[in-house]
Amino acid sequence: MRFVDLAATSAAVAATSGRRAKVELLAEALRNLAPEELVAGSGYLAGELRQRQTGVGYASLRELPPPAEHPTLTVAGVDAAIAELAEVRGPGSQQRRRQLLAALFGAATVDERRLLLGLFSGELRQGAQAGLLAEAIARAAEVPLPTVRRALLLAGDLKAVAAAALTGGSGALTGFALQVGRPLAPMLAQSAGSVEEALTAVGLPAVVDVKLDGIRIQVHRSGDDISVFTRSLDEITSRVPEVVAAVRSLPARELVLDGEAIALDASGRPRPFQETASRAATRGARRAVRDEARREPGDLAAVGGGPGDLAAVGGGPGEVAAVGGGPGEVAAVGGGPDEVAAVGVDDADPAGGTRSFGAAPVAPSTAGSAWSVGSVDISEVPRIGTSGTAPAEIPGPDRPATVAPAVIAAANTSGGVVLTPYFFDILHLDGVDLLDAPGHERWAALSRTVSPAQLVERITVDTVEQASTAFAAAVDAGHEGIVVKAPQAAYDAGRRGAAWVKVKPRHTLDLVVLAVEWGSGRRKGWLSNLHLGARDPETGGFVMLGKTFKGLTDELLRWQTERFQELAVERGDWVVRVRPEQVVEIAFDGVQSSPRYPGGVALRFARVLRYRDDKSAAEADTIDTVRAIHEGRRP
**pLDDT tens digit string along 542-598?**
999 999 999 898 889 999 999 999 999 999 889 999 999 999 999 888 788 888 888
The C-alpha atoms of residue 443 and residue 563 are separated, in whole angstroms, by 53
Rama region for 203: left / alpha / beta (φ>0; ψ in -120 to 50; rest): left
Three-class SS of residue 398?
coil
CA angle 266, 267, 273 (to 5 degrees): 75
Residue 185 near residue 231, CB atoms below 8 Å? no
List the domains of the chain with CATH numbers.
Answer: 3-173 (1.10.3260.10), 188-277+347-503 (3.30.470.30), 282-341 (no CATH), 507-630 (2.40.50.140)
* Residues forming beta bridges with residue 535, ordered by sequence position: 542, 622
| Inter-helix orientation angle 145-155/130-141, to 10° | 130
Residue 301 near residue 117, CB atoms below 8 Å? no
Residue 58 near residue 183, CB atoms below 8 Å? no
Three-class SS of residue 301?
coil
Q: What's the gap between Cα 377 and its chain centre?
A: 38
pLDDT score recorded for residue 126: 64
pLDDT score recorded for residue 17: 81
Interior/surface letters 341-376, b for 16+ CB within 10 angstroms, e for the rest? bbbbbbeebeeebbbbbebbbbbbbeeebbbeeeee
Residue 632 near residue 510, CB atoms below 8 Å? no
**Residue 360: DSSP 8-state:** E
Nearest to 632 by CA among 585, 588, 592: 592
**pLDDT tens digit string along 43-93?**
999 888 888 777 787 667 778 889 999 999 999 999 999 999 888 888 888
pLDDT score recorded for residue 190: 92
pLDDT mean for each 10 residues of the chain (635 residues): 94 87 93 93 88 75 87 94 88 87 92 89 67 90 92 84 94 89 89 90 96 93 94 89 93 95 84 75 41 34 31 31 30 31 30 38 32 28 27 30 48 65 96 94 96 94 93 82 95 84 88 94 90 93 92 90 94 94 90 84 88 90 88 63
Exposed (0-12), middle (13-18) or buried (19+): which is 535, by Cβ within 10 Å? buried
**Phi and psi at residue 607, in whole multiples of 5°?**
-150, 150
Residue 123: partners with Cβ closer than 8 Å, 6 or more residues away: 300, 301, 332, 333, 334
- Half-sphere exposure of residue 100: CA atoms within 13 angstroms, side-chain side: 22
The C-alpha atoms of residue 177 and residue 182 are separated, in whole angstroms, by 10
Nearest to 485 by CA among 264, 258, 276, 277: 258
Residue 420 near residue 242, CB atoms below 8 Å? yes
The C-alpha atoms of residue 308 and residue 229 are separated, in whole angstroms, by 13
> What is the number of H-type helices and E-type strands within the chain?
19, 21
pLDDT score recorded for residue 635: 59
DSSP sequence for 460-492: EESSHHHHHHHHHHHHHTT--EEEEE-TT----
**Phi and psi at residue 14, in whole multiples of 5°?**
-65, -30
Interior/surface letters 452-485, b for 16+ CB within 10 angstroms, e for the rest? eebbbbbbbbeeeebbbbbbebbbebbbbbbbbb
Active site residues: 211
Alpha-carbon separation of residue 591 from 28, 501, 594, 599, 608 (angstroms): 45, 22, 9, 12, 16
